[in-house]
Amino acid sequence: AIRMTQSPSSFSASTGDRVTITCRASQGVSNYLAWYQQKPGKAPKLLIYTASTLQTGVPSRFSGSGSGTDFTLTVSCLQSEDFATYYCQQYYSYPYTFGQGTKLEIK
Amino acid sequence: EVQLVESGGGLVKPGGSLRLSCAASGFTFSSYSMNWVRQAPGKGLEWVSSISSSSIYSYYADSVKGRFTISRDNAKRSLFLQMNSLRAEDTAVYYCARFYDILTGCLDYWGQGTLVTVSS
CB B110 within 8 A of CB B95: yes
Contact between chains at A98 and B105 (C-beta distance less than 8 A): no
CB B13 within 8 A of CB B116: no
Query: Where do the DSSP E strands lie in chain B?
Result: 3-7, 10-12, 18-25, 34-39, 45-51, 58-60, 68-73, 78-83, 92-101, 104-110, 114-118
Q: Which of A96, A100, A101 sits opposite B105 (nearest CB)?
A: A96
Put simply, whether B60 touches A (Cβ < 8 Å) is yes
Contact between chains at A43 and B61 (C-beta distance less than 8 A): no
What is the predicted pLDDT for the residue at A101?
Answer: 98
Q: For B7, what's the count of Cα atoms within 13 Å in the CB-facing half-sphere?
A: 4
Distance CA A53, CA A43 (A): 21
Reported as a single tens digit per residue, the pLDDT across B20-66 is 999 999 999 999 999 999 999 999 999 999 999 999 999 999 999 99
User: Rounded to a whole number, what is the distance in Å from the CA of A103 to chain B's nearest CA?
Assistant: 11
With a CB-CB cutoff of 8 Å, which residues 40-69 of chain A face chain B?
42-46, 49-50, 55
Contact between chains at B105 and A97 (C-beta distance less than 8 A): no
Distance CA A86, CA A60 (A): 16
Reported as a single tens digit per residue, the pLDDT across A45-104 is 999 999 999 999 999 999 999 999 999 999 999 999 999 999 999 999 999 999 999 999
Contact between chains at B106 and A46 (C-beta distance less than 8 A): yes
